[in-house]
Structure 1
Amino acid sequence: MTYDAEVLVVGCGNVLFKDDGFGPTAIKELEEHLDERPLPDNVITIDGGTSAPYYVFSLPNPMWKKIIILDISDFGGKPGDVKILSKDDVPEGKYQDPHSLSVADPLDDLDEVEIVIIACQPEKVSSPFVEVGLSDSVKDAIPKAIDIVYEQVKL
């Protein structure tokens, strides 16, 4: 799949590891309300799970202008805080998910694409133990993250 759209909104994370499920859960919430709050035609949503670095970002499409990533990040905030990060805010080779998979490398190859990361400060990531469901603080952050998506989809 080549994801033919100018703007990709990608939820990254693993729903089996508590707050690591923020990205996919935010995408699901966004998609459930598209009838009331549609996205522009040039935007697609993707639940990238834990595979986005390798099965989305590593398959560039010349059509892409912007990728908006919903994910957790430890940026020193309070649990549930939401912050916009750019690719430049991610130290090269240092953006790691709880499973030590590097996301920076495939993003570095997307020079012509604007990368926006909507990051949520996690409260708890349960890896390697399965614990389904977001912390209340992270769950409560989803509407704010979705509002930021709508602000960002304007080219």
Structure 2
Amino acid sequence: MTDEKKILVLGVGNILFTDEGIGVKVVMELEKEYSFSSNVELMDGGTLGTKLMGPMMECDILIVVDAVLGNDEPGSVYRLTGEDLRRSLAFKDSMHQTDLLDTMVLCDLCDRRPECVVIGVEPKDYQTMHDDVSDVTQARLPFMMEKVLEEVTAAGGSFEKLS
């Protein structure tokens, strides 16, 4: 039996609404550029809502990547835990089927709620229908990737840069 924690890096958001899709885009870039240890899974969670309950209950550490409304300058990057999770767009009622906070509550009711952190960016535009993120958000993508990799390492996962 191993003490290795299972880590899920979950990119969420709607890629059709500009910066709301940043979480999915970060995960896609991480998949392209790195290989991860066997205890780390990367997932495009899109707008799946409660359909993410299974994968969430199967992990010990959940790292959500998303757009975050923190009333700061567009491009500001946040690390959220605990009650601050409500600032993440995925943790609010939006175009998502249900918010992730509700899904976390359901995981809690099943006595299988993972430890959770959100790495997010203040969006410049999350309402315009377009599949590219804004220039401001795109410029922050490498920094967000770096922050996710720091969280993976802190949680006990590892990674290697692909050549």
Q: Would you call these one fold, judging by a TM-score over 0.5?
A: yes
Structure 1 residue 121 corresponds to structure 2 residue 122: yes
1:44 is paired with a residue whose SS is strand
Normalising by structure 2, we get a TM-score of 0.78
1:73 and 1:121 in contact (8 A); partners too: yes
How many angstroms does 1:98 deviate by?
3.7
How many angstroms does 1:88 deviate by?
2.2
Partner of 2:102: 105
How many angstroms does 1:139 deviate by?
0.8
Query: Deviation string for 1:100-129 (max 9, x for gaps)?
Result: 632211113444411010111000012xx5
How far apart, in 1, do the equivalents of 2:81 and 2:22 lie? Answer: 18
How many angstroms does 1:90 deviate by?
2.9
The verdict on how the C-alpha distance between 1:91 and 1:133 changes in structure 2, with shifts beyond 3 A counting, is: closer
Partner of 1:77: 72
The structure that is helix-richer by fraction is 2
The verdict on how the C-alpha distance between 1:146 and 1:138 changes in structure 2, with shifts beyond 3 A counting, is: same
The verdict on how the C-alpha distance between 1:87 and 1:108 changes in structure 2, with shifts beyond 3 A counting, is: farther
Percent identity for Structure 1 against Structure 2: 28
1:90 is paired with a residue whose SS is helix
Where in structure 2 are there 5+ consecutive unaligned residues? 156-163
Where in structure 1 are there 5+ consecutive unaligned residues? none
Q: CA RMSD in A?
A: 2.3
How far apart, in 2, do the equivalents of 1:133 and 1:62 lie? Answer: 31
How many angstroms does 1:54 deviate by?
1.5
2:62 is paired with a residue whose SS is strand
Partner of 1:16: 16
Partner of 2:146: 147
How far apart, in 1, do the equivalents of 2:107 and 2:82 lie? Answer: 10
Normalising by structure 1, we get a TM-score of 0.82
2:56 and 2:114 in contact (8 A); partners too: no
The verdict on how the C-alpha distance between 1:20 and 1:97 changes in structure 2, with shifts beyond 3 A counting, is: farther
Partner of 1:27: 27
2:130 is paired with a residue whose SS is coil
**2:125 is aligned with what amino acid?**
K
2:51 is matched with which residue: 51, 55, 69?
Answer: 55
